[in-house]
Structure 1
Amino acid sequence: MDLKYKLKKMIIDEMQIEDLTPEEIEDDAPLFGDGLGLDSLDAVELVVQLQIYFGVEIKNIEEGRPALQSITTLADYVKKHCPDPQKVNP
């Protein structure tokens, strides 16, 4: 299972999005607003889930805003900051 798929599945499972599959989420679609429709509370939950799933910390808004744009930007951020490469590429 590739990293982008894992991230999509994590978002669907943790945000309890029932009417969407990982395959239906476009890699470059915005996660917030008109894209996937996540909001600021979801952003906080997403940051927590990145810590739990991948050991990746997003410490502030300046760091988080570019990382949380899309699945692609999120995957790039996780690859760069994940302390355990096995969690990214098993």
Structure 2
Amino acid sequence: MSNLQLEVKQMIIDALDLEDIEASEIDDNEPLFVDGLGLDSIDALEIGLALQKRYGIKLKADSDETRKHFASVNALAALIQSQAEQ
């Protein structure tokens, strides 16, 4: 697991106050919503705010592209990397 994936997992845990889960328990490729981690739209807003605060990334809530970025830890990590390279 890379440092960025670990950072993303910890950001999700911190942003959502997930006290009963460890970063190592979250699969990098596992869906974050519905199946997998089981997050919902309110959780997506919280993660979006955390991304904006920590990495300066602003996303459109109703965009199909945003849904793709929120698919998994790896997808979020790829988004962060692409933004950092710009």
Would you say the 8 A contact 1:56–1:82 is kept in 2?
Answer: no
3-state SS, counterpart of residue 78 of structure 2:
helix
Rounded to whole Å, the distance in 2 between the matches of 1:83 and 1:40 is 28
Aligned residue type for 1:21: E
Q: Which runs of structure 1 show a deviation greater than 3 angstroms over 4 or more consecutive aligned residues? A: none
- Equivalent residue for 1:51? 52
**SS of residue paired to 1:27:** coil
TM, length-normalised to structure 2:
0.89
User: Counterpart amino acid of 1:69?
Assistant: A
Q: Give the fraction of aligned pairs with identical amino acids, expressed as a percent.
A: 39
What is the distance in 2 between the residues matched to 1:76 and 1:66?
A: 11
Distance in 1 (alpha carbons) for counterparts of 2:26 and 2:14: 13
CA RMSD of aligned residues (A): 1.7
Q: Which residue does 1:88 correspond to in 2? A: none
Q: Give the Cα separation in 2 of the matches to 1:34 and 1:59.
A: 23
Q: Establish whether residue 75 from structure 1 lines up as the match of residue 46 from structure 2.
A: no
Q: How many residues align?
A: 84
**CA shift at 1:83, angstroms?**
6.9
1:1-90 aligned at under 5 Å gives the runs: 2-60=3-61, 61-82=63-84
Deviation at 1:45, TM superposition (A): 1.0
TM-score by length of 1: 0.85
Q: Which runs of 5+ in 2 are unaligned?
A: none
CA distance in 1, matches of 2:19, 2:35: 18
